[in-house]
Structure 1
Amino acid sequence: MANRSLAACLNDLKRGQHLLEIDVPIDPHLQMAEIQRRVYQAQGPALLFKNVTGCRFPMVGNLFGTMDRTRYLFRHTLENVRQLVALKIDPNAGFKAPLKSLKALPTAIRMLPRKVRRGPILKHQIQIEDLPQLVSWPKDGGAFVTLPQVYSEDVAKPGLMGSNLGMYRVQLSGNEYEPNRQIGLHYQIHRSIGVHHSHALAEGKPFRVNIFVGGHPAMTLAAVMPLPEGMSELMFGGALAGHRIPMITSPNRAGIYAEADFCIVGTIDPERQLPEGPFGDHLGYYSLQHEFPVLNVEAVYHRPGAIWPFTVVGRPPQEDTAFGEIIHEITGPIIPTVIAGVHEIHAVDAAGVHPLLLAIGSERYVPYAKERRPQELLTCANAILGQGQLSLAKYLIIAAHEDDPSLNCHDISKFLQHVLQRADWTRDLHFQTRTTIDTLDYSGSGFNEGSKLVIAAAGAPKFELQAELTGALNLPHEILSAQLVMPGVLAVSGLDYQSDQESRGIQPLLDLPVTHPVNKFRLVIVVDDAEFAAATLNNFLWTTFTRSNPAADIFGIGAFTDQKHWGCEGALIIDARVKPHHAPPLIEDPEVTRSVDALAAKRGPLHGIIS
């Protein structure tokens, strides 16, 4: 039987030995976040903090910290939700497996939200300052809600079925917000809530927004789920929770999730924005302070026995990695029905999600050609970059399914080597310049501004990948270290960044002839620390794709421009050094680290969980 509340889910986790209760006082200012990060890295249990410094509400973290636990939370419903997705892909599947389809019918019925007049959420009323004040990183601008479910309705089409439930950043304190009366909401206009906001402004009507925290964990997952246009997140939440989501409705306010643990009710200020941030974000750097919408708070509610769930983001992988993995499990099979010709897509978590997108598509334009080259793949790439959040991709690398039907873009090292063997740098590099990129990515030319690169690879292998550092590379003397990352990829360091030069200080590399031994490597990454970048695949992905803006930071040996197409005859070079305009990386407070070390010592509550 599926659980109906967060407290019931936690009891279920406790019975299954997936939950650790911590009774000693824990400070939500930095200490709790570091505990959560370290327990996640150790693949430890969910954490219920029962004694939160300065707050009467318990807090729970690391709920989704392992895929086993995430599947355990939804074990009663996950298979039926997958079956519903399969039916959407192929309605004939209902005839092929009628027993499975019949089992999915009750799930379909539970997808409809249920209107109610009252619920436990309205039992108690408090103020913003009474809520847990989680601060995750030393330079954060205040306390943030890190697992919010932000609910809005379209004034042009009000009601539950036209609503949006999204996970947008919420700042509770700090900056210029008036205490207990204003909080910050970080979202962009292309998000569904932004569409609702623009409609409210156009019609001159109040834009009412409710922020839920807690309730069934299915609602948290629903808030991050990329759903087909027109499908309500409330419907998905109900299917995954195993019951219809009860929503308190009234004519003059947006719906309220009756079984949430907390709810903040308010109206977006139509007149102004206020500075929001900084905030340590999922790219592994701070997103800096910028003006974003303000919610004028009207009421704050909580249910009896309320528990505050939270997560911590930072350099991936972190707990939110599980969101991407479970989303792929559920929705991965539907990709070919949404984007014609595309077999698989992988937003690479280790690279910060949006900076790097890998894809497999079909290449069938001229099947009788003696030598295939990317043609249909470019159509696939353009379609991918036109889809919702996929449009934020900075690097899109796409390979042809026909070249290796067993290729899997989640096997990142194998996928990249497959592409490096086939991609022709004189032909297969396709740039978009002066376009939009992720708001959180500071590698570009300005706020929300940067460039994109599509690398398409099709056909038989053309290039042999250098798999070891042998013989004299005869690199320029300025290069102090050269490290093999993987076959075909070399990391070098020692070149000083020169912002006043077009080549940014890598001219000694660019001056090498195409016959030079360094061109045995298809890709050369210029970094601040070659040993670090080459130490692990994750280090390479994070360093390369979060610290480079394609149009500004890609160079090549033997580079040329022909009819406005850029390419190179030798090695492709990516400048992945830290630049002066980049946001600072996330670094823990040493004193807080020592306090967590003490909790992990013998007889401490975290002994045996983290080292």
Structure 2
Amino acid sequence: NLGMYRVQLGGNDYKPDREVGLHYQIHRGIGVHQAKANQAGVPLRVSIFVGGPPAHTLAAVMPLPEGLPELVFAGVLGNRAFRYFRDEEGFCVSADADFVITGTVHPHEVKPEGPFGDHLGYYSLVHPFPVMRVHRVYHRQGAIWPFTVVGRPPQEDTGFGALIHEITGSAIPNEIPGLHAVHAVDAAGVHPLLFAIGSERYTPFQRNERPQELLTIANHIFGKNQLSLAKYLCICAREDDPALDIHAVDAFLQHMLARVDFTRDLHFQTNTTIDTLDYSGMGLNAGSKVAIAAVGPPRRALWPEVPGGLRFPQPFERTRLVMPGVLAVEAPPFGSHDQAEREIALLDRELAGQDLSGLPLLVLCDDAAFSAESVHNFVWVTFTRSNPSHDVHGIGSFIEHKHWGCRGPLVIDARRKPHHAPPLERDPAVERRVDRLGERGASLHGII
């Protein structure tokens, strides 16, 4: 197994130069390997490779099919075999890495790891994670320690994501029957929002009135490798618009919102797993998912502007149109889920008698102007700050035979919650320190 993992080299309770922390995200291969080592009652042997050819880095982040070794893929990508040797202790040492740290992870041995900024645009907090006992450190002559910057997209994951889509875009549909395209939306932090286009072929002898095969595809996606980390999955039928661009976020959302039937087309998975870095759920790795499937001709015209007669009750008067059919509604700071239920009930009472047919999606947020300023702002706020089971509401909502739906607009509560991790914010003092490294005579002059 070759994977990309966060390694904490110092701080917290780690013994300097003797221990490092390993951050395991859910659905990563190292967890499977340590489980096997634990069952055998032996330490897991780990080699950390830093730097080296770009093919090694890309192979480590590729969502490869089970059974295809990343080392083989790295060799194919780099047009030569992955060069390595075994040291006297039997550890694998990359002959091309700039640095190699070898060590062992012992069963159930953990220490606090974090906090670190991460690619969703928030901090990942301190949690107990495996600690590696360091055996040896190797380096090559003229070694370079690479670094990157993390934060709200676009950042480090954006380039990786684009390249992965380019390489695997045509392969993933071969893994899931009926799937034509899938796109993890970078601006939303990748895993929180997934778009998919599938086929509807179950009943070709009659007009298709409701999602059928799309639901089979959605369930397959929720069970497929890292695609299973998706929190919101929006899937539509290729037959309805063969020219639909899955990478055009606003056009795709408008296609969905014009066709979705919220009384029928919302399918939740509750008390399940979500991405380790996503703090919108009930705890580490814990949250919910929703698949939203839309098929058929448009059932509504999305309003390009808010009608002058539409009135929202206090304290929800400040609203901004994000795109046709989507309204950002500024709300008071989030207090609790019980309070949120009362606020939704107020909106339900006050809006029930008004015409909302062209506004199928309302998003409660802390700052309507910021959320509506760009599509990137909108998807980042909406899908990184909400947990479907707790934060998806609706005007005229109902439960019928365990199915939840709503007869009016869908309401997503995307306010910051007390249990959320703090957002990453630029620190001017740190930026000035980094800028000084690029000045003439400094260590990074000519590089940054």
Q: If the TM-score is normalised by the length of the shorter chain, which range does it land in?
A: over 0.9
Q: Which amino acid aligns with 2:349?
A: D
Per-residue CA distance 1:277-309 (angstroms, 9 max, x = gap)? 111111111111000111100000100010111
Q: Which amino acid aligns with 1:561?
A: I
Which residue of structure 2 lines up, in the alignment, with residue 313 of structure 1?
Answer: 150
Q: Which amino acid aligns with 2:64?
A: L
1:554 aligns with 2:398: no
Structure 2 distance, partners of 1:566, 1:598, is 56
Q: 1:329 aligns with which of 150, 160, 166?
A: 166
Residue pair 2:20, 2:134 contacting (<8 A) in 1 also: yes
Written as runs of structure 1 = structure 2, the 5 A alignment for 1:120-135 is: none
Which residue of structure 2 lines up, in the alignment, with residue 274 of structure 1?
Answer: 111
Which residue of structure 1 lines up, in the alignment, with residue 429 of structure 2?
Answer: 591
Which residue of structure 1 lines up, in the alignment, with residue 59 of structure 2?
Answer: 222
1:528 aligns with 2:366: yes
- What is the CA distance between 1:603 and its match in structure 2? 12
Partner of 1:222: helix, strand, or coil?
A: helix
Question: What percentage of aligned pairs have identical amino acids?
Answer: 60
Q: 2:235 aligns with which of 398, 401, 408?
A: 398
Q: Which amino acid aligns with 2:140?
A: R
Closer, same or farther: CA 414–299 of 1 in aligned 2, 3 Å: same
Closer, same or farther: CA 601–299 of 1 in aligned 2, 3 Å: closer
1:439 aligns with 2:276: yes
Written as runs of structure 1 = structure 2, the 5 A alignment for 1:338-377 is: 338-377=175-214
- What is the CA distance between 1:515 and its match in structure 2? 4.0
Which residue of structure 2 lines up, in the alignment, with residue 511 of structure 1?
Answer: 349
Structure 2 distance, partners of 1:165, 1:354, is 21
Which residue of structure 2 lines up, in the alignment, with residue 265 of structure 1?
Answer: 102
Partner of 2:328: helix, strand, or coil?
A: strand
Which residue of structure 1 lines up, in the alignment, with residue 404 of structure 2?
Answer: 566
Bigger Rg, which one: 1
Q: 1:302 aligns with which of 113, 122, 139?
A: 139
Per-residue CA distance 1:153-210 (angstroms, 9 max, x = gap)? xxxxxxxxxxx00001100001110110000001146321111111111112231000
What's the TM-score once normalised by structure 2's chain length? 0.95
Partner of 1:435: helix, strand, or coil?
A: strand
What are the ranges of 5 or more consecutive residues in structure 1 without an aligned counterpart?
Answer: 1-163
Structure 2 distance, partners of 1:482, 1:540, is 13
Residue pair 2:26, 2:285 contacting (<8 A) in 1 also: no
Structure 1 distance, partners of 2:36, 2:64, is 21
Which residue of structure 1 lines up, in the alignment, with residue 49 of structure 2?
Answer: 212
Structure 1 distance, partners of 2:140, 2:437, is 31
What are the ranges of 5 or more consecutive residues in structure 2 without an aligned counterpart?
Answer: none
Q: Which amino acid aligns with 2:211?
A: P
Structure 2 distance, partners of 1:605, 1:178, is 29
Q: Which amino acid aligns with 1:460?
A: P
- What is the CA distance between 1:368 and its match in structure 2? 2.5
Residue pair 2:181, 2:196 contacting (<8 A) in 1 also: yes
1:581 aligns with 2:433: no
Structure 1 distance, partners of 2:110, 2:437, is 41
1:199 aligns with 2:36: yes
Which stretch has the larger CA shift, 413-422 or 184-193?
Answer: 184-193
Q: Which amino acid aligns with 1:589?
A: D
Which residue of structure 2 lines up, in the alignment, with residue 255 of structure 1?
Answer: 92
Q: Which amino acid aligns with 1:419?
A: M
Residue pair 1:208, 1:266 contacting (<8 A) in 2 also: yes
Residue pair 2:360, 2:408 contacting (<8 A) in 1 also: yes
- What is the CA distance between 1:501 and its match in structure 2? 2.5
Partner of 1:308: helix, strand, or coil?
A: coil
- What is the CA distance between 1:369 and its match in structure 2? 2.4
Structure 1 distance, partners of 2:274, 2:201, is 30
Residue pair 1:495, 1:505 contacting (<8 A) in 2 also: no
Q: Which amino acid aligns with 1:360?
A: I
- What is the CA distance between 1:230 and its match in structure 2? 1.0
Which stretch has the larger CA shift, 419-428 or 406-415?
Answer: 406-415
1:469 aligns with 2:306: yes
Which residue of structure 2 lines up, in the alignment, with residue 187 of structure 1?
Answer: 24
Which residue of structure 2 lines up, in the alignment, with residue 543 of structure 1?
Answer: 381
Q: Using CA pairs below 8 Å that are at least 6 residues apart, which structure has the higher relative contact order?
A: 1
Residue pair 2:300, 2:357 contacting (<8 A) in 1 also: no
Structure 1 distance, partners of 2:243, 2:438, is 44
Per-residue CA distance 1:511-544 (angstroms, 9 max, x = gap)? 2344414443010000000000000111001000
Partner of 1:533: helix, strand, or coil?
A: helix
